[in-house]
Structure 1
Amino acid sequence: MKDLAGKTAFVTGAASGIGLGIATALAQAGVKVMLCDIEEAALAAAVEGLKRTNADVALVRADVSLKAELQAAVEQTRARYGAVHILINNAGVGGGGSYGMWNDAGWSWTLGVNLMAVVWGVEIFAPMIESQGGGHIVSTASIAGLISGGSTPYNVSKYGVVALSEGLRHELGPRGIGVSVLCPGFIRTNIMSSQRNLPERFAGATRPPPLDGARLERMKQMVERVSGGIDPLYVGELVREGIENDWPYIFTDCEFEPMIEARFGEIKRGFDRIRDRKARR
């Protein structure tokens, strides 16, 4: 999509962080943007700020882990703008712990927001985008969707977003829809306080684990890395460029490239062992 001006985008998780960065970059390119989020006050503030720049933006509140609310948000978008050309599946939460700390609420909440909302977004929007001659879909995974450092629902959900995006790129390309997966590193967002928006039906999803010295230090380091992370506005600019140039993968930095190369190396060695075993027979 080389010419974004005049197109319409629907962005989830748009009240802050990466979502707001993407919404801002698209609005600056002349895109009409419907910002969707569960956090009403922050959403209203974000839209008010963008309107001061003469951006054509609107808001709709929705809990994207509920398909019916996402569908209702789509109908409001259609009523306001008539069409959607760009879908940004960005809403995400960091709930759930590693093995030994799992609970059903944590899995349900994290997979509901991070993965199922992406599935539903594509299911709802792709036919609309195709009927209008094509467009683009960007779904936010994480660098953790390529190098899982643990068994958390977050990592599992992000691997799912990568797999879904890779598959959709092959299937939707011939239909005129580009598909990109955003795999950010440490970005300055509110991901570490996701529990502020925890719906009551997922009570217990963020039950804190016992924090020994090592876990406490890891948590502290994570908070520091996120709070000092990359500016979300820069990420938004990368996403805009990725849409314009149909990038399959959108990364935000090269910090984790060696770890990804190491993972691919282990996969390659797995094939080498089979090849060597056959050669010895």
Structure 2
Amino acid sequence: MHQLEGKVAFVTGAGSGIGLGIAQALAAAGVKVMLCDIDQAALDTAVAGLSATNADVAGVRADVSLKDELRKAAEETIARFGKVHILVNNAGVGGGGGYGDWTDASWNWALGVNLMSVVWGIEIFGPLIESHAEGGQIVSTASIAGLIAATGPSYNVTKYGVVALSEGLRTDLAPRGIGVSVLCPGFIRTQIMDSRRNLPERFGTIEQMSEGAEAPELVQQARAAIENGIDPRYVGELVREGIEGNWDYIFTDTQFEPFIEARFANIKAGFDRIRDRTPAR
């Protein structure tokens, strides 16, 4: 999509962090943006801030882990802007216990927000993008953890799923005029470590991550890295450029490139071990 001005975007998790950074960058490029978030107060603040710049924006509250709420948000987007060209599946949550500590509730929460909302977003908004035959773009936020399993099990699984879904659909949707990109950020200055602030009551109590001096060293290091991470607005500009250029992968930095190369080397070594063997028939 070389020309973004006048187009319409729907962005989930847009009340803060990466989602807000993306909404800001798109609005600055002349895109009309429907911001979606579960946190009404954060959403109102984000919409007010963008409106003050004369951007054409609106907000809709939705729990994207509930398909009906996401569908209603799509209906409100069409009612407000008439059509949609860009879908940004960005909402995400962290946390979840490790082996021996995880619970069904934490898995269901992570799967619902991080993966199923992406599936449903594409299912709901894909036909809306196709309907006007003007082309469009789908951007889904995964993580570096979607390429190297470096965090908790549920987070890794959901982010690998977003990468796989995006890679597969890129070929499928191209003939329909829809580009597909997957965003794999590293450490960004967001509130991902405090995701439980928006935990819906229906999930009950889920395992808590240790904090402060009692937290595992890895957790403390991750929190510090995020607090000193990349500005979400910079990420938003990368996403804007990725939409304009139809990038398949959108990375935020090269910090984890050596780890991804090591993973690929391990995969290749697995093929090398059986390269000269003849399979039994």
**Is the structural similarity TM-score above 0.5?**
yes
Contact 1:181 1:250 in 2 (8 A): yes
Corresponding residue for 2:250? 250
Give the structure 2 partner of residue 105 of structure 1: 105
User: Which AA in structure 2 matches 1:53?
Assistant: T
Read off the aligned partner of 1:101 and give its amino acid letter.
Answer: D
- Aligned residue pairs: how many? 278
Q: Does 1:182 align with 2:165?
A: no
Bigger shift: residues 235-244 or 143-152: 143-152
Q: 1:215 to 1:270 in 2, by over 3 A?
A: farther
Pair 1:21–1:53, CA change in 2 (3 A): same
For the aligned residues, what is the CA RMSD? 1.6
Say whether the 8 Å CA contact 2:145–2:151 is kept in structure 1.
no
For the residue of structure 2 that corresponds to 1:91, the secondary structure is: coil
Cα 1:150–1:21 change in 2 (3 A) is: closer
TM-score normalised over the length of structure 1: 0.96
The percentage of aligned residue pairs carrying the same residue is 69
Asked if the contact 1:101–1:209 (Cα under 8 Å) also holds between the matched residues in 2, the reply is no
* Cα distance in 2 between the residues matched to 1:47 and 1:184: 24
Distance (whole Å) between structure 1 residues aligned to residue 214 and residue 257 of structure 2? 26
Q: Which amino acid aligns with 1:110?
A: A
1:165-204 equivalence runs, <5 A: 165-204=166-205
**Cα contact 1:95–1:109 (8 A) shared by 2:** no
Contact 2:17-2:189 at 8 Å conserved across structures = yes
Q: What is the alpha-carbon distance in structure 2 between the residues aligned to residue 210 and residue 7 of structure 1? A: 44
Matched, 1:266 2:250: no
CA distance in 1, matches of 2:195, 2:5: 33
Query: Counterpart in 1 of 2:141?
Result: 140
CA distance, structure 1, for counterparts of residue 150 and residue 53 of structure 2: 41
Alpha-carbon distance change, 276 to 212 in structure 1, aligned in 2, over 3 angstroms: farther
Unaligned runs of 5+ in 1: none
**Paired letter, 2:248:** P
1:4–1:274 CA distance, 2 compared to 1 (3 A): same
Any unmatched runs of 5+ in structure 2?
A: none
CA deviation map 1:207-258 (0-9, x unaligned)? 1267898852222111110110000000000000000000000000000000
TM-score (norm 2): 0.96
Aligned CA distance change for structure 1 residues 34 and 120 (closer, same or farther; 3 Å):
same
Which residue of structure 2 aligns with residue 29 of structure 1? 29
- SS in structure 1 of the partner of residue 264 of structure 2: helix
Q: Which amino acid aligns with 2:145?
A: A
Is the CA contact 1:137–1:177 (under 8 Å) kept in the aligned structure 2? yes
Q: Which residue of 1 aligns with 2:63?
A: 63
Alignment partners' CA distance in 1, 2:195 and 2:10: 21
